[in-house]
Amino acid sequence: MGYPIGRRVDATVGREASSAPRGGLAVGSGFQTMAKEKWYQAGLTFECTQCGNCCSGDPGYVWATKAEVAKIAEFLGRTDGRLGKEHLRRVGLRYSLTEKPDGDCIFLKREGGKAMCSIYPVRPTQCRTWPFWNQNLTSLDAWNRAHQICPGMNRGTHYDYVQIETARTQRAV
């Protein structure tokens, strides 16, 4: 089964299975050894083009922890640390950002041909780690399928293997 491309891809984004230490990589953590086995061992390039493709599309989930919700609420000037139903929905025991009727993330703003995140400094981990998600890194073909939707992939800033693995295994706190 393939994965849809964009922000609403995978319920867990593979974070729960990670064994990487929180906050980064420990020296001698094994990532250097594992790099020999990964197709992206030489690194990858990515630069956001502000197209908004990763923030729109089919309905799905953009997971946010309670701590992330509180940061977003504070950023929006909410003193109670909460977000209303127009911004957040409960899915089982977790929280997900909501979408507009057109499929855009509730926090995506489009102006002058560009798409901007209105909560960019406090966006959830799932958003901060795009495009270095497990399903995009399974193979070069998977990466290139994602690139068909995301024009920022394969251009711009070079990320080395350790940077990619740090993003891929980052957990929300």
Could you tell me which of 67, 115, 61, 110 has the C-alpha nearest to residue 88? 61
DSSP string for residues in the chain: ----SSSS--SSTT-TT--SPTTS--TTSSHHHHHTTSTTTT-EEE------GGG-SSS---EE-HHHHHHHHHHTT-TTS---TTTEEEETTEEEE-B-TTS-BTTEEEETTEEEETTGGG--HHHHTTT--HHHHS-HHHHHHHHTT-TTBTSSEEE-HHHHHHHHT----
Tell me how far CA of residue 129 lies from CA of 1, 15, 100, 132, 152, in angstroms.
Answer: 23, 11, 22, 6, 14
What pLDDT does residue 47 have?
96
Domain ranges, ordered by start, for the chain: 31-168
Tokens (6 digits) for 106: 């509730």
> Is the link from the previous residue into 59 a cis peptide, with omega within 30 of 0?
no
pLDDT of residue 168: 95
**Within 10 A of 93 (CB to CB), how many other CB atoms are there?**
5
Q: How far apart are CA 124 and CA 64, in angstroms?
A: 6
- What pLDDT was estimated at residue 25? 41
Which residue numbers in the chain have pLDDT < 70? 1-36, 173
The Cα–Cα gap between 43 and 91 comes to: 35
Residue 57: per-residue pLDDT: 87
Specify the pLDDT at position 54: 92
